[in-house]
């Protein structure tokens, strides 16, 4: 774990978790000067590639843009205005795209499998000393058009990746949520049945 960043947003759990899991939080504050290295980006994408999937279907596809590049600019332009303001400082934007069907038919678990791949991507990024914030506030239809995606490809989320910045640099309306303690429903509320 190269640069694990602990903060006031460390998860409070009933039992100890792996430090990467406990420390993960979704910041909007990114260091606008930091560039993710080729090795870091490759490791992050490899982690997604090696995530489990039903029948080894590997239904995750990724559009990857580095800050300053054309792909980054195109992806940034599809984000909701509220997300554009902070996401422009991230080093990388990754669009998570799922393969909905292939020549064997519908891939029923592709959304689940893509979620696992993005979790793997997230925790590899954390192990690299980076942070990730995933968002649904973007225009999937514009991603589809901009990148000429086939009909069986569905943009699901965008992840902003980079080195965590100082939350004090955020506008007031974003600083509060970024500094607030993390909260979750109680475990008993999430468990439908358990022996």
Structural domains of the chain, with CATH = 38-164 (3.40.109.10)
pLDDT in tens, 117-163: 999 999 999 999 999 999 999 999 999 999 999 999 999 999 999 99
Position 55 scores a pLDDT of 93
Query: Are β-strands 92-99 and 131-135 bridged in parallel, bridged antiparallel, or unpaired?
Result: unpaired
pLDDT of residue 116 exceeding 80, the answer is: yes
Question: What is the Cα–Cα distance from 56 to 193, expressed in whole angstroms?
Answer: 29
Percent of the chain with pLDDT over 90: 68
pLDDT, tens digit, 9 for 90 and up, residues 9-39: 677 778 888 888 887 778 888 999 999 999 9
| pTM score, whole prediction | 0.89
Question: Rounded to whole angstroms, how far apart are CA atoms 84 and 20?
Answer: 27
Top-confidence residue, 87 or 174: 87
């Amino acid at each position: 774990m190269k640069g694990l960043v602990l903060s006031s947003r460390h998860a409070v759990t009933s039992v100890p978790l792996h430090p990467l899991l406990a420390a993960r939080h979704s910041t909007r504050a990114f260091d606008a000067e930091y560039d993710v290295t080729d090795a870091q980006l490759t490791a992050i994408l490899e982690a997604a590639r090696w995530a489990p999937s039903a029948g080894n279907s590997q239904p995750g596809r990724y559009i990857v843009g580095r800050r300053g590049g054309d792909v980054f600019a195109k992806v940034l332009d599809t984000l909701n205005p509220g997300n554009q303001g902070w996401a422009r400082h991230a080093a990388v934007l990754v669009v998570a795209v799922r393969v909905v069907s292939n020549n064997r038919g519908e891939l029923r678990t592709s959304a689940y499998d893509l979620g696992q791949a993005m979790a793997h991507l997230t925790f590899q990024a954390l192990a690299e000393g980076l942070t990730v914030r995933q968002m649904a506030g973007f225009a999937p239809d514009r991603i589809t058009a901009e990148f000429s995606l086939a009909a069986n490809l569905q943009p699901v989320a965008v992840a902003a990746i980079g080195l965590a910045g100082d939350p004090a640099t955020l506008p007031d309306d974003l600083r509060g949520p970024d500094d607030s303690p993390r909260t979750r429903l109680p475990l008993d509320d999430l468990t439908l049945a358990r022996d």
